[in-house]
Each structure stands twice: as structure tokens, then as C-alpha cells.
Structure 1
Amino acid sequence: MKKTGKNIVVFYGSQTGTAEEFSNRLAKDAHRYGMKGMSADPEEYNMSELSRLPEIENSLAIFCMATYGEGDPTDNSQDFYDWLQEGDADFTGVKYTVFALGNKTYEHYNAMGKYVDQRLAELGAQRIFDLGMGDDDGNLEEDFVSWREQFWPAVCEHFGVEATG
């Protein structure tokens, strides 16, 4: 990621495209705050490189993670999920937040987002904003917009930056 010149990376686990769309919107938002964001498919990255994120000033990893089926990761986040389960990476200094996408009518509501949030913390990463919970049984878009409206001011406060327009 260091090579990209970006300091905000938004990883998405998406089956139908919604988490990817939210990821793209968050990456685009970053520019309003003088940050450089990028949306990323975890399938296309060596996720062990995440431990090097603190080398980039004001860096943040955001995860938009959909739960698929009965609590499963999406196809494009399966390898990341397996790696998190097996791995013992040291994510000390990595700052992150998670927005989970699911449907509360399922038994394992937002299981993937909850797992990523919990596991990153176990590996030493620092959550800088609350886990967001999107419910497709209600209004997923409204859940995301509401979370996002609170998220960016918290990020700006954390990093001491102001919106640039």
C-alpha cells in the first residue's frame, strides 16, 4: 500500500456488490478530508502486509464486510477469513474500523463483520470507530449513511484533520 501513496484503504468482502459500492464511496470520501483513499479487494492483496500499515502517516484500514449465507465470508474474502483464523500477525499500531453488512433475519447476523472486528483487536489493532451494523432486512443504505455521517468526524478528530470541501 505504501507504493500507492494512499493512507486509507477500504477492503471489501462483497457477494452482490453492495459492500464494494460502500467501499468505493468511503475511499472517495477520504479526499474531502485531505486523505487519500483506495478501495481494495482482499483477494488481490497480501493481507500480511497490513501489519506494515502504521509505516504510513495517518493510516487507516476500513473493512466493509458482508456476511453470506449462514454466517460465511463472501467468496472474495474467504482467503482473508482463513488467514485471520490461522494467523498470528502482530497488528500493533494498525488503526481500523469495520462496517458489517447482513440481514437480521439470519441466525448469524453480520457474523463476518463481527469476526473481523474481534480478530483484528485480538491481533493488536486499534479500533478507532464503532463497528457499524447494516441490516438488509431494514434499510441497509440508511444504516450505512448514518454510520458514515458519524464515522468521518471521528476520523478527523482522531487524526487532527479538517474537511477540505
Structure 2
Amino acid sequence: MTGLRPMREGDWGAVQEIYRQGIEAGNATFETEPPSWEHFDAGKRADLRLVAVQGDEVVGWAAASPVSSREVYRGVVEHSVYVEEGHQGQGIGRLLLDGFLDLAARQGVWTVQSSIFPENVASLRLHEACGFRTVGRRERIALMQTGPWAGRWRDTILIERRA
């Protein structure tokens, strides 16, 4: 059975490996390598980090960054959800996203947003099922540096969910 709990520093090895899998697959992020724990910790809100676990194994994670340091945007975050490649298609992404949205609401977040590659159909469908709407498409927003899309311009779909 899969459960959720707050992410701890001790989870970083597993979280970093899941992040690496997403980078290598080419449809999760423009990043070329996972950050260090220190960089991740500094950029993500400590109160908005979850891991999905099966027994003692971390099989997915969700976290969010503030979109701005300005007070008027205090309730707006950009989130990420990653599932270990061997556990995809088992409902773990939905479990994480539902849990994250509940946690975000309790923390006073009123807008959750993300940018998703249009080729990541599973993520787009998951987010739509959880009440996200498409705000727009950012065309040729960045040039991929690594992975199967290296050297190619990529679009992203900007999505959001408001409380």
C-alpha cells in the first residue's frame, strides 16, 4: 500500500534519483541534472513537500516553489510531481497530487501552477482530472541541453488550479 508523508532530508537520495529519471526521460524538466539537497531545500517551501512511500521505499515526490518573493503572491506556487519510473501508471501521481493540493490549501495557497511539456500527456491528463486548467502555451521557450530532446526547442503548457 502506498502512503504519503512529509519529505525529510534523509529522503534526498531517493528523491534525487527519481528526479534524475525524469530528466533522462526528457519530458519532465529543462534541468540537466538534479540539484543538490542544499539547492533543493533553499528553493522549495518546506511546508509543501511530500513523498509517496511503499513500506520504506520512496516511490514519488511532490514539492513547490514560491513564484515570487512579493507579499501579494504569497499564495501562489509552482509545483512538481515525480513518480519513480517503475511505479508509474499505478495511481501514485494522483495520490501525490491530491495530497499536495490538500496540503497547499491548508497552507493558504490559492493558486498552484506548473509548466508541462505538451508531449507529457499523462501529466496533462492527471492535472486536468484534478481541476487544473490550461492558461496558455509558451512556444519555443527553451532549448533542451540533454536527453532525447537535446538540441531541440521545446514548448510548455502553462496550467493552474485556483482554490
For normalisation by structure 1, the TM-score amounts to 0.35
For normalisation by structure 2, the TM-score amounts to 0.35
Question: 1 or 2, which has the higher strand percentage?
Answer: 2
